[in-house]
A and B are shown apart, each in its own frame.
Chain A
Amino acid sequence: MPAGIAPEIYIAIAVVVLIALIGFVGRRRKPPERTDVDTGPIPKVEPEPRATTAEAPGAEAPPVAAPPVEVEAPKPSLRDRLTKSRRFLSDRLANAFGRAPDEETWEDVEAALIQADVGVEAATKITEDLKSEARERRITTAGEVRGLLAEELVSLFDTETDRALTFAPQKPTVWMVLGVNGTGKTTTIGKLAADLTGRDRKVSLAAADTFRAAADEQLQIWADRAGAELVKHQPGADPGAVAYDALQHARAREMDVLIVDTAGRLHTKTPLMDELAKIRRVIEKEGKVTEALLVIDATAGQNGLVQAREFAEAAGVTGVVLTKLDGTAKGGIALAIERTLGIPIKLVGVGEGLQDLEPFDPKTFVDALLS
């Protein structure tokens, strides 16, 4: 440090210049208005929630009625897979089964919620609500608290919302998959594609992650596994151009569904977020994105909510895929995302296999969260 000058002065100078710049830029626009609901700029494709999987009248109608990923074949459930993970709440509550719920019980409940990444503020509120509910319902043993808590948590999810993925009335349906780095976007796309091809849908994938080394090759392997086609450009190519070409290709080849993979990006990087919006705009010049799925890593902490908010603002997220639920992470941030942003959780990822994608079910999720 040079002598005779306080280090703070450097910062002071920088801050002053910054303030001037911030003032200049900041007054050019109002801070974005936020509402509690997902304000994606894109109007809902389907006016009636039940119509999501129906093909438009007149359109060629493949015999598909069920939403994707709700598969008849028995698959290990989320619950089964979670037996591997550590149990914490139920054991403790079970141990206290006979006793009346006391302060310790409530502390356990709150701790369990915090450790599930529900967020400390939400955890405290839920615990308080539960306490008064228990008093009202005259709950006398701690063993009953778990059931009550599960009920309470399930009720925090929107039970009315349609969690099925939306198809466009006309082929091809276009879905985009977004998220920060390393959440499992490409893997999720592989699973989605496999599910669709398993229902005799023709699927093509767009390798619009042109940034990460070998991302297209990774997607190619998933495409081969799933029996889907892949459209890709050179590494470093414009992702919007890839998406555009993929859409033309999907049209020409009469694909049912086109899934666009995008590069992982931190939500704090405005130029990259703008790029995402651009990819969507490019597609929507000629078609419609009926799902912009945000992939959230279940191990994510409170930052997951910030991610969801930023991605929703940039590209209009229609649903969340919660991945890596096969570990010990509970993915409690999903609750916050659905509650405060109104973005439905649609799918969960529970492993690395082609089949390891399940529809999100609040009850199963809550059971696993409390296991």
Chain B
Amino acid sequence: MFDTLSTRLDDIFTRLRARGRLNEKQVDEVLREIRLALLEADVSLKVVKAFVADVRERAAGAEIHKSLTPAQQVIKIVHEALIDILGREHVGLEHPQRPPRILLIAGLQGSGKTTAAAKLANMLKKQGRRPLLVAADLRRPAAIRQLQLLGEQVKVPVYAEADHQDAASLAGRALKHATEEHHTDLIVDTAGRMHVDADLMAELGAVARAVDPTETLLVCDAMTGQDAVNVAQSFLEEVDLSGIILTKLDGDARGGAALSMTYVTERPIKFAGIGEKLGDLEPFHPDRMASRILGMGDVLTLIEKAEQAFDEEQAVEMQEKMLRADFTFEDFLGQMQALKKMGPISSMLGMLPGMSKMPISGDEIDREMPKVEAIIRSMTARERNDPSLLNGSRRKRIARGAGATVQDVNKLVKQFGEVRKMMKMMGGGGKGKGKMKLPPGMKLPPGLGL
């Protein structure tokens, strides 16, 4: 829907033919773009204003890096400023003076508290700890049942009371129980509440006083808009927040709320929910979030996953093959297998900048991959290594073998040819002007050097 920030900044600089140090007018124009990018990413207006002022100051005093273009310089400054707010690195859970560690989970309705609580329990259990979940959401119909079912799934016991009235005293009894049973962690799931609901906010305060939590974690939906500041402020006033869990990051929201929340509360985002399965909770990575908010994708996560999926020697060999442009269907098949190890394409595309604009979704690619595989597997070894052999009758045979149409085979062979051409450009031309032909809407991550 929107151009990425880096594209737009590049446009400005091309227009201004800027060289070297930024002048004030350029800074102004750049800052306007940054303001827009942040607002489009749902960062709260107040936070945007403060942030832009900060960046202006930094830009004024910035040293000039010879190796960076002005656009890259500004992005670097913005990125740094973002990370200063979001945090330098992942912050884990605090350790209590004495066990159990008490985690109080709070948030608005529908932010994902119960799921986050179960995911936390699952994570702690996998670390060899003995967590206990506490069903202190006494308001939402069947909330207790939901937690009990999730507890069963992750094999973590759930403390619940049939006759329940008062969340605070229930939490107190749960704590006593946990201490007696030598649980290492107590995870208290509370009712979702509107931050303007004075009674419910008071109840949350009472629960907190009853258990004196090691951590009070605010659960926040990554899709939240401008209201994030109000929510964060209100919860901060009522309880001693220690951190944030950002949920539903597997959607395509840019997640500006993350910035608003950390800015207002000065508390780190500790975990991110990235899917519906109970294993889908990740340590939060500020640098990746910074890129996401700026619309620059999450290239780091992708690199990490790729490193796990491809072995190094193979990668070096592949690099050489690609540069020499003798990439064969056999190689393609091998790389596809490695790619599959990185997880569904749909989740990978989300990490690449500009991919959301593509005319097809990752899921479609995921669905079509078996067909591509089948086509390649229906080729003989010779055909795989020398696609020029593929004449009409061979293509017909391949299509029959793969349960595909000849058109499918043609398309694949044609596409493969284009990829090879592209590689030739990368390898042969090197710094040449030849532009890669990318699918519409796709933009390569900055700094890929392709």
Beta-carbon nearest neighbor of A110 in chain B: B45
The answer to whether B419 and A16 have CB atoms under 8 Å apart is: yes
Residues of A within 8 A of B339 (CB): 14, 17-18
**Nearest CB of A to B80, in Å:** 20
The answer to whether A126 has its CB under 8 Å from any CB of chain B is no
Residues of B within 8 A of A8 (CB): 303, 447-449
The answer to whether A2 and B226 have CB atoms under 8 Å apart is: no
The answer to whether B312 and A5 have CB atoms under 8 Å apart is: yes
Residues of B within 8 A of A184 (CB): 109-110
Residues of B within 8 A of A4 (CB): 316
Residues of B within 8 A of A211 (CB): 276
Residues of A within 8 A of B42 (CB): 117, 301-303
Residues of A within 8 A of B112 (CB): 181-182
The answer to whether A270 and B225 have CB atoms under 8 Å apart is: no
The answer to whether A269 has its CB under 8 Å from any CB of chain B is yes
**Nearest CB of B to A323, in Å:** 8
Q: How far is the CA of A371 from the CA of B298 in the complex (A)?
A: 39
The answer to whether B251 and A303 have CB atoms under 8 Å apart is: yes
The answer to whether A56 has its CB under 8 Å from any CB of chain B is no
The answer to whether A324 has its CB under 8 Å from any CB of chain B is yes
**Nearest CB of A to B351, in Å:** 10
Q: State whether A23 and B146 are in contact (beta carbons under 8 Å apart), knowing that A300-B225, A303-B252 are contacts in the complex.
A: no
**Nearest CB of B to A234, in Å:** 13
Q: How far is the CA of A214 from the CA of B112 in the complex (A)?
A: 14
**Nearest CB of A to B77, in Å:** 22
Interface residues in B211-266 (C-beta closer than 8 Å to A): 221, 223-228, 230-231, 248, 250-254, 256-257
A-side interface residues, number (CB < 8 Å):
82
The answer to whether B252 and A26 have CB atoms under 8 Å apart is: no
Beta-carbon nearest neighbor of A184 in chain B: B110
Q: How far is the CA of A271 from the CA of B438 in the complex (A)?
A: 26
The answer to whether B432 has its CB under 8 Å from any CB of chain A is no
Q: How far is the CA of A223 from the CA of B196 in the complex (A)?
A: 28
**Residue in A22, A85, A299 whose CB lies within 8 Å of B221:** A299
The answer to whether A180 and B45 have CB atoms under 8 Å apart is: no
Residues of B within 8 A of A328 (CB): 195-196, 227, 230-231
**Residue in A213, A217, A222, A301 whose CB lies within 8 Å of B257:** A301
The answer to whether B141 and A218 have CB atoms under 8 Å apart is: yes
The answer to whether A11 and B227 have CB atoms under 8 Å apart is: no
The answer to whether B226 and A327 have CB atoms under 8 Å apart is: no
B-side interface residues, number (CB < 8 Å):
100
The answer to whether A117 and B358 have CB atoms under 8 Å apart is: no
The answer to whether B110 and A352 have CB atoms under 8 Å apart is: no
Interface residues in B409-450 (C-beta closer than 8 Å to A): 411-412, 415-416, 418-419, 422-423, 438-440, 442, 444-445, 447-450
The answer to whether B306 and A14 have CB atoms under 8 Å apart is: yes
The answer to whether A7 has its CB under 8 Å from any CB of chain B is yes
The answer to whether A10 and B225 have CB atoms under 8 Å apart is: no
1/0 per residue, CB under 8 A from A, across B25-57: the answer is 000000000001001111011000000000000
Interface residues in B304-327 (C-beta closer than 8 Å to A): 306-307, 309-310, 312, 315-316, 318-319, 322, 327
Q: How far is the CA of A6 from the CA of B363 in the complex (A)?
A: 29
1/0 per residue, CB under 8 A from A, across B10-24: the answer is 000000000000000
The answer to whether A212 has its CB under 8 Å from any CB of chain B is yes
1/0 per residue, CB under 8 A from B, across A312-342: the answer is 0000000000001011111011000000000
The answer to whether A266 and B332 have CB atoms under 8 Å apart is: no
Q: How far is the CA of A89 from the CA of B230 in the complex (A)?
A: 15
Stretch at the interface among B64-72, B89-97, B169-177, B340-348: B340-348
- How many CB-defined contacts (below 8 Å) exist between A and B? 273
**Residue in A220, A269, A302 whose CB lies within 8 Å of B346:** A269
1/0 per residue, CB under 8 A from B, across A218-231: the answer is 10111000000000
Q: How far is the CA of A8 from the CA of B303 in the complex (A)?
A: 7
Q: How far is the CA of A326 from the CA of B307 in the complex (A)?
A: 47
1/0 per residue, CB under 8 A from B, across A1-34: the answer is 1101111111111111111111111111111100
Most chain B Cβ neighbours within 10 Å, of A8, A15, A300: A15
The answer to whether A270 and B221 have CB atoms under 8 Å apart is: no
**Nearest CB of B to A275, in Å:** 12
Q: How far is the CA of A273 from the CA of B42 in the complex (A)?
A: 25
**Residue in B369, B418, B422 whose CB lies within 8 Å of A21:** B369
Q: How far is the CA of A213 from the CA of B148 in the complex (A)?
A: 9
The answer to whether B139 has its CB under 8 Å from any CB of chain A is yes
Residues of B within 8 A of A218 (CB): 140-143, 145-146
Q: State whether A329 and B225 are in contact (beta carbons under 8 Å apart), knowing that A11-B448, A218-B142, A306-B1 are contacts in the complex.
A: yes
The answer to whether B39 and A114 have CB atoms under 8 Å apart is: yes
The answer to whether A114 and B226 have CB atoms under 8 Å apart is: yes
The answer to whether B322 and A22 have CB atoms under 8 Å apart is: no
**Residue in B227, B307, B349 whose CB lies within 8 Å of A299:** B227
Interface residues in B360-375 (C-beta closer than 8 Å to A): 360-365, 368-369, 372
**Residue in A2, A212, A271, A302 whose CB lies within 8 Å of B225:** A302
The answer to whether A86 and B230 have CB atoms under 8 Å apart is: yes
The answer to whether A277 has its CB under 8 Å from any CB of chain B is no
Q: How far is the CA of A159 from the CA of B140 in the complex (A)?
A: 36
The answer to whether A141 has its CB under 8 Å from any CB of chain B is no
Most chain A Cβ neighbours within 10 Å, of B110, B143, B411: B110
Q: What would 16 A/B residue contacts be, using CB atoms closer than 8 Å?
A: A9-B318, A13-B315, A14-B306, A14-B310, A16-B327, A16-B335, A16-B419, A21-B369, A116-B226, A213-B146, A214-B148, A299-B227, A301-B224, A302-B225, A303-B251, A327-B194
What 5 pairs across the A-B complex have the smallest Cβ distances?
A301-B225, A182-B110, A270-B363, A301-B42, A31-B359
7 extra interchain contacts, Cβ-Cβ under 8 A, other than A8-B303, A183-B110, A327-B230?
A: A13-B306, A14-B339, A14-B348, A212-B146, A213-B145, A297-B223, A329-B225
